[in-house]
Amino acid sequence: MPFDPKEPATGPMPTYEDRGDEGYKKSLGNFQIQMIAIGGAIGVGLFLGIGQRLATAGPALVLSYLVVSVVVYLLMRALGEMVIYRPTTGAWVSYAREFVSDRFAYMTGWIYVVLAAVAGVGEIAALAVYVQFWWPEIPGWIPSLVAALVIVGCNLLSVKLYGFIETWAAMIKVLAILLFLIAGIILVVAGDIFNAPTVASVSNLWSEGFATSGVLALVVVMSGVVFSYSAIEIVGVSAGEAKDPERSMPRAINSVVLRIALFYIGSILVLSMLLPTAQYSGNESPFVTALGSLNIPALAGIMNFVVLTAAISGVNATLYACVRLLRNLAAHGQAPRVTATVSKRGVPSGALICLLGFYLLGIILIYALGAASAFEVVLSACAVFILFGWISIFVSHLGYRRKVARGEAHAVNFRMPGAPVTNYICLVFLIAVALYIMFDFSNPHWYYSLIAGVVIVVGTTIGFSASKRSVAKNGLPDLGPFASHEEEPLDPVQR
């Protein structure tokens, strides 16, 4: 049923209030929410990660993306249903606390905090790869350090500045991908129909084999495919600072399917037609590789600037989500008290400073391994965190539906299709993929995922017990007082 925000919901009104929402301001407009959703859906997983995956699996990579796309769509509908029920900056952590248990919220929150922090390091590493396209003599850790300091500094100022950066970065990405797809299709048509002197051809999809390394390769690359979508759910966090979440969130979530089909699936097909997939690698963006083969001056450099912008957007988005989830945990005594601090501008400054410290540790990794190698290591470690995080969203949604059935929460008209059957199907798929990734001995970095899985279970078990003792002894942290919570005026671009 189409979502109608004017139609009243049925059942009792919700009474749950999350103290982690205190101190924020409603600063994000409808257009910014749309751009944040796009920014989360398009990151280095597309602009850099697809290169290595294309070289491994060939054009059949598109099938892996189609399967994960369906799961991601259902994930976003499940999250969207809970967001419309109760918008909150705690997002799936807050829903885990309300619909499952405090222990489950602790595990979910720390999974995502670690994921977002590590993924941010991956984005910074990718950014260094792009800078080295122009200046290969510059050590990768230098542009990574500059980016970390500038992005954290901008986020410390206000959420409006975050929204401004993410809006324009997303617009650049969307425009560039659309132009790339159009230009790529023109080149393929020119080569196949008008016999233009170009290697671009539809026949590149099968000339070296559609699945160049066999069907098993489609499973082998699944960690990279999952990583591609890892920030798409960030739009759920922004609902707590949106001026009109009931209007903006359904639009942003429903458009996910179109973006996936156009940007990911379309890009893979066009890239596969422009060049034989064996010519791609993880050493540079596949978009830069494809455009560089045309020998048109400055074209590859322009595309490299675009993917550099995408990396900045990715760091910005993951940082935004990470600090708000960390602050939500701190508000409930489940993270260091310093991370509960919110500035007068409505910014979780304590959590931001802590994340900057983590990024500095990541830059040391980039210094030790090199930017490209650090990106692959981070990707291997991240995949299992992403899967565990997605599993938690589906589990929380099941808890929400059970409360609705008992009359303890009100239903909304923006619902996940096929639930609860689709919840269980997605859970089986995600658990199977997580187990495969953790024990994929063909991957030289397979043990990173296994270590990540062990850290999740052991770390959250010990940490939750310690946090309960701390709260029992010291109580919950003081969150106030805050400055005025009046909504900030919107700039034209926010509307």
Neighbours of 115 (CB within 10 A): 27
Using CA atoms, how far apart are residues 301 and 291, in angstroms rounded to an integer? 9
Q: For position 3, what pLDDT does the model report? A: 43
Structure-token pair, residue 135: 């200046």
Describe the crossing of helices 299-331 and 159-193 by its angle, rounded to 10 degrees.
140
Q: For position 86, what pLDDT does the model report? A: 92
Task: Give residue-wise pLDDT tens across range 279-321.
Answer: 888 777 788 888 777 777 677 788 788 878 877 887 888 888 8
> Please, which pLDDT band fits residue 464 given cuts at 50, 70 and 90?
very high
Q: For position 191, what pLDDT does the model report? A: 80
> Please, which pLDDT band fits residue 391 given cuts at 50, 70 and 90?
very high
Task: Give residue-wise pLDDT tens across range 111-162.
Answer: 888 888 887 887 787 788 788 888 888 888 898 899 889 989 888 887 878 7
Q: What is the mean pLDDT of the chain?
A: 82
DSSP letter for each residue of 220-261: HTHHHHHHHTTTGGGHHHHGGGBS-HHHHHHHHHHTHHHHII
Alpha-carbon dihedral of residues 180, 186, 191, 196, nearest 10 degrees? -100
Neighbours of 447 (CB within 10 A): 15
Contact between 164 and 27 (Cβ < 8 Å): no
Residue 339 has pLDDT above 50, yes or no: yes
pTM of the shown model: 0.84
Q: For position 480, what pLDDT does the model report? A: 61
Task: Give residue-wise pLDDT tens across range 167-207.
Answer: 888 888 888 888 888 988 998 998 888 777 778 889 989 88
> Please, which pLDDT band fits residue 429 given cuts at 50, 70 and 90?
very high
Instruction: Tell me the domain boundaries of the chain.
Output: 26-475
Residue 6 has pLDDT above 60, yes or no: no
Q: For position 416, what pLDDT does the model report? A: 94
Report which listed range, 209-213, 294-298, 486-490, is most confident.
Answer: 209-213
Task: Give residue-wise pLDDT tens across range 401-422.
Answer: 999 999 999 999 899 999 999 9
Q: 14-28, 155-169, 258-272, 338-352: which has the minimum mean pLDDT? A: 14-28
Greater confidence, 266 or 295? 266
Residue 390 has pLDDT above 80, yes or no: yes
Q: Cα separations (Å) of 417 from 68, 74, 231, 254, 463?
A: 16, 7, 22, 12, 36
> What is the CATH architecture of 26-475?
Up-down Bundle (1.20)
Q: For position 483, what pLDDT does the model report? A: 44
- Non-local CB neighbours of 155 within 8 Å, separated by 6+ positions: 161, 162, 316, 319, 320, 323, 347, 352
Residue 220 has pLDDT above 60, yes or no: yes
> Please, which pLDDT band fits residue 74 given cuts at 50, 70 and 90?
very high
